[in-house]
Amino acid sequence: MARPICSSTTAAGAHLSDGPTKQKPPKPQPAKKEIIATVDMLDIRVGQIVSVSRHPDADALYVEEIDIGEEQPRQIVSGLVKFVPEEQMRGRTVLVLANLKPAKLRGIVSSGMVLCASNEAHDEVEPVLVPEGVAVGERVTFEGFDGPPETVLNPKKKLWEKIAPDLRINPEGVAVYKGIPFMTSSGAITSSLQNARVS
């Protein structure tokens, strides 16, 4: 009578392990560093609108060419038709957020954003006011925030979205970041609105 094969031996004669197989502990995942978004990551520059026209495919949008001190004016699309007459836009000095990633708005590329003050209902909107005598291309500064701006704000990091809620017009009509004024060589950025948002 044939002997049964031992349960601890394979058909090829190799011995099975007597104890449970040891599993290697999983490697710890490196902790993701949380990016602290601060206002000096923004490249906010003084610009002058050299031309403005209505967007051909959007009634609420202007298409502006804005000189911010570069070789060529920036093309920027702004939703200001309902709030600022075209003749008041032409030649106007404005603040431009210059390091947004270019994006198409209704088919036209916009390479930046005109910073405006708006009330909570968003039925009053105006470009913030730049003091007279400030040179085109000057970067707005914030006391205590002296870092270089990002070359381009990475949309995946949502830096603008993290910073924007702290950009305000205070009760005195001064544009501030966490209470710190937007400053130029000729003084603070202001608005005729008070207690408003800046975006």
Question: Measured between alpha carbons, how far is residue 114 from residues 3, 17, 30, 196 in Å?
Answer: 90, 71, 39, 16
Span 39-45, average pLDDT: 99
> What is the enclosing helix (H) or strand (E) of 63?
strand 62-67
What's residue 14's pLDDT?
A: 43
Q: What does the pLDDT look like over 47-68, one tens digit per residue?
A: 999 999 999 999 999 999 999 9
Task: Concatenate the DSSP letters of all residues of 166-195 into one string.
Answer: GEEE-TTSBEEETTEEPEETTEE-B-SSSS
The CA-based diameter of the chain, rounded to the nearest angstrom, is 110
Which three-class secondary structure state does DSSP give residue 137? coil
**Which residue has tokens 């939703």?**
79
Predicted model pTM: 0.82
Per-residue pLDDT reduced to its tens digit, 98-156: 999 999 999 999 999 999 999 999 999 999 999 999 999 999 999 999 999 999 999 99
Report residue 72's pLDDT band, with 50, 70 and 90 as the boundaries.
very high
State the pLDDT at residue 35.
76
What percentage of the chain exceeds 90 in pLDDT? 82
Q: Which of 127, 119, 134, 131 is nearest to 97 (CA)?
A: 127
Neighbours of 18 (CB within 10 A): 6
Average pLDDT over residues 75-85: 98
Question: Which letter, b or e, does each residue of 99-119 get, where b requires 16 or more Cβ atoms within 10 Å of its Cβ?
Answer: bbeeeebeebebbbbbbbbbe
**Mean pLDDT for the chain overall:** 90
What mean pLDDT is predicted for residues 9-28?
53
Q: List strands edge to edge, sheet with 180-181.
A: 125-127, 116-118, 196-198, 167-169, 175-177, 180-181
Q: Domains plus CATH for the chain?
A: 39-198 (2.40.50.140)
The 3-state DSSP class for residue 117 equals strand
- Tokens (6 digits) for 154: 């990475």
In this model, does residue 3 exceed pLDDT 50?
A: no
pLDDT exceeds 90 at position 164:
yes
25 or 131: which carries more pLDDT confidence? 131
Task: Record the tokens describing residue 196, joined without a space.
Answer: 């408003």
- The pLDDT of residue 30 is above 80: no
Closest by CA position to 70, among listed 39, 89, 88, 48: 48
